Amino acid sequence: MSAAKTALSIIITSHNQLKNLKLTLLALLDQKPRVPTEILVADCGSTDGTGQFLEPLVEKGTIRVLAYGAERGRTAARNKAAAEAGGRHLMFLDPGILVGPGWWEPLFRVLEKDPQVAAVSGRILLPDGTLDHAGLSLLHHEARADARPCLGSRTVHAGRPGDHAPAVQSLQGRAAAGEALMTRATAFFSVGGFSARLGRGHGARKPDFAGDPCGVDLGLRYSRRGWSCVYQPDSIMTRLRGPGTDSQDFERDMSTLSRTWLDRVQADFRITAQGTVTPLSPGGVRAYVEPMLNLDGAPARGLVGRGGPRTRPAASIILDAGDDPRNIRNAVENILAGTLTHAELILLDSGTDPDLPAYLNAVAPRRLTCRLLPAGIGENGSERLNQAERLNRAERLNQALAVAEGRHLVLMDGRARVATGWLEALVGVAEMNPEAGLVGPVTNGLEGMQQIGVAGLGTQDRGHGNGDVQPDDDLETIALRQMLNHSGDHVRTLRLGGFCLLIKREVLVRLGGLDRRFDGGLYEFNDYCLRAQMAGYQCLIARGCYVHQEGQAPALPAGQERLLQQETQWAIFKRKWGIPLSTRLDARLDLGAVLRGGFDPRKHFETLAAASRTIKEERSARREAVQVSS
């Protein structure tokens, strides 16, 4: 089977564990996944007849055998086998793990559907039916008279019956069951695989209910990169109490694990010298809910213009340019001229320019697919809406996000002006940083970390980072100099402006859309940045990407009306996130408690409005959302 077609690689390492290896392979072959799968057995110098047992399976093409010396150890053999595997996901199984019916599908589904998850393990039972693994918690053991403080791990609901009701709840945490672990191959290789300092022996005796040190360490390194580990109870396996030959191997690994992580992570529970168990806040174990969107593979719809190839575009540029036909066309021409990458342009059509479809057909280059999306759908199906019927900006953008097909989604309004190579610079930072969720450019018009001074383009020379800008520079010159001096550079921030904002598709799948309770380009983006960081993503500024900002946002009120709108949106934001209502608009906020609470999809996920939704339905949904916030 070619590596390109392999969905799952199952890796088993064995050293003189023939009895357990037989049972594991028999169960595995009886319950082989219904996706393209390869089975690799790393035989580490076995002398108990393992080679003779495996030989017929190799001849039939059922498995591949990788012959290593015993001195390499379990971890080295696993890492080497993983390097030779072709699957996009890797499943590590120890001899003595017996998979149950349909074991693979729940684990595989989580990795396929949730890009935030790096590793997933199932419910592991002991032969007597009690729980050996139902998610792992981290334990901080305080110093005792005979022992130093140390870090440990233990299964949640340890020793309970396998059908214990709480054990059927999926959990999200920071540690994984290394003895039976499915992991995303890209994540595994990005952290360097299993740590070479752990698992150097074979057949170590793992105590019941304890976490495998190799899996715990791998999960913690995933966590440092922004990924999470998931316990999926619908996948059921049994772990035989094998004839482990050396309990000292396990103790040695736990000692190494403690030295590495004790002062670097906060445990979920503290165990005092007297044995008292105290939960620590915030804990790393919480309920897991699978993402509610799965947008991969959506067919192209409503295309106008000549268009490019029908492969998924690198980015979907969603342009909300307002009502002025001249400004709409200026914005479109600017994006067409500056965008070199294969992308799609989704233009939110206000209906003020009846010749816009013909115009797009005439000007769109082959590398850019263009489509129009009405500003909303009227109750009678009309696409031309009066001012009272129109959706607010968050609702309009959500409709566009629901039909966008790009790997990345870029929200833009009509005041953004780009230069050649802008999209490549923005996407480059997003793809070089797996922890990034949202990426914005540097600009002239926003307050805060995104702002740089560009006096030559008619704005005040204020902000920071303006040493790269000279008087009378034009847009292309400023952007090129910024790109040459800061290519790939990025800065982490808490907040990004919405006038030009890249959203990774995995973030859209995880968070949903903008909160439609917010209106007017004021707080919907503050809210989205906050939710992204609660879900473990970072907001980054691409310093090599300069996007110029002309004038005010479209349709933005001025003076007293704008202040009143700000106060209204600020009140909704405070109620949503538990900020004291007396907090002033200009007060400095400490959102640490909100961020530590983590992203709860049941509370924080925002559905995307379907493009076919009527105004009546959308208005009703909006009223319900506002009532919830109140």
DSSP 30-58: HT--SSSEEEEEEEES--SSHHHHHHHHH
Give the residue numbers spanning the domain of 431: 313-457+466-551+560-594
**Is pLDDT at 542 greater than 90 in this prediction?**
yes
345 in the same domain as 276 = no
What's the pLDDT score for residue 472? 53
Q: Is the pLDDT of residue 515 over 50?
A: yes
Q: Is residue 245 part of a domain?
A: yes
Share of the chain above pLDDT 90, in %: 34
The answer to whether residues 223 and 352 belong to one domain is no
Averaged pLDDT, 302-306: 37
CATH number of the domain residue 567 falls in? 3.90.550.10
Same-domain status, 433 and 476: yes
Residue 85 lies in a domain: yes
274 and 386 fall within a common domain? no
Q: Is residue 604 part of a domain?
A: no
Query: CA angle, 156 as apex, 153 and 161 as ends, to 5°?
Result: 130
Q: What is the pTM of this model?
A: 0.55
pLDDT of residue 559: 58
In a domain, 307, yes or no: no
pLDDT at 560: 67
Q: Which strand ranges, in their side-by-side order, compose the sheet holding 500-504?
A: 368-374, 343-349, 315-320, 408-413, 500-504, 436-442, 538-546, 490-493
Q: Does 262 share its domain with 323?
A: no
CB 441 within 8 A of CB 547: yes
> Are 31 and 144 in the same domain?
yes
In terms of domains, do 227 and 350 share one? no
Q: Is residue 211 domain-resident?
A: yes
Q: What is the pLDDT of residue 204?
A: 59
Coil, strand, or helix at residue 296? coil
**Local confidence band at 370 (pLDDT 50, 70, 90 cut-offs):** confident
What is the number of domains present in the chain? Answer: 2
- Note whether 267 and 323 are same-domain residues: no
Q: Clarify whether residues 116 and 180 are in a common domain.
A: yes
Residue 616 lies in a domain: no
Residues 320 and 266 in one domain: no
Range with the poorest average pLDDT among 249-253, 348-352, 379-383, 572-576: 379-383
The predicted structure's pLDDT at residue 579:
85
DSSP letters, 257-273, are HHHHHTTTS--SEEE-T
Looking at the fold, whether 367 and 280 belong to one and the same domain comes out as no
Strand partners, 269: 139, 279
The verdict on residue 615 lying in a domain is no
User: Taking 50 as the threshold, does the pLDDT of residue 587 lie above it?
Assistant: yes
Looking at the fold, whether 261 and 344 belong to one and the same domain comes out as no
pLDDT band, very low/low/confident/very high, at 408 (cuts 50, 70, 90): very high
> Would you say residue 387 lies in a domain?
yes
- The confidence score (pLDDT) of residue 375 equals 56
